[in-house]
Amino acid sequence: MMERWFVIALIVSFLWGSGSFFGKMALARDIPYRVYLFEGIGTLAVLIFFIFIKRQEIFTGLSFNVFGLLMGLSWGIGTILFIIALQPAKLSVIVPLTAIYPAFTVLLSLIFLQERLELREIIGIVFAIISIVLLAK
Q: Which residues of 22-44 are buried (b: 16+ CB within 10 A; e: fewer)?
A: ebbebbeeeebeebbeebeeeee
Tell whether the model's pLDDT for residue 66 goes beyond 80: yes
Given pLDDT bands bounded at 50, 70 and 90, which one contains residue 116? very high
Q: Which amino acid is at 21?
A: F
pTM above 0.85, yes or no: no
Contact 136, 97 (CB under 8 A): yes
Q: Over 50-62, what HEC string results?
A: HHHHHHHHHHCCC
Task: Read off the pLDDT band of 51 (50, 70, 90).
Answer: very high
Highest-confidence segment of 50-54, 104-108, 110-114: 50-54
Counted residue by residue, the chain has a size of: 137
- Whether residue 82 contacts residue 98, with contact meaning beta carbons closer than 8 Å, is answered with yes
Distance of alpha carbon 2 from alpha carbon 81, whole angstroms: 35
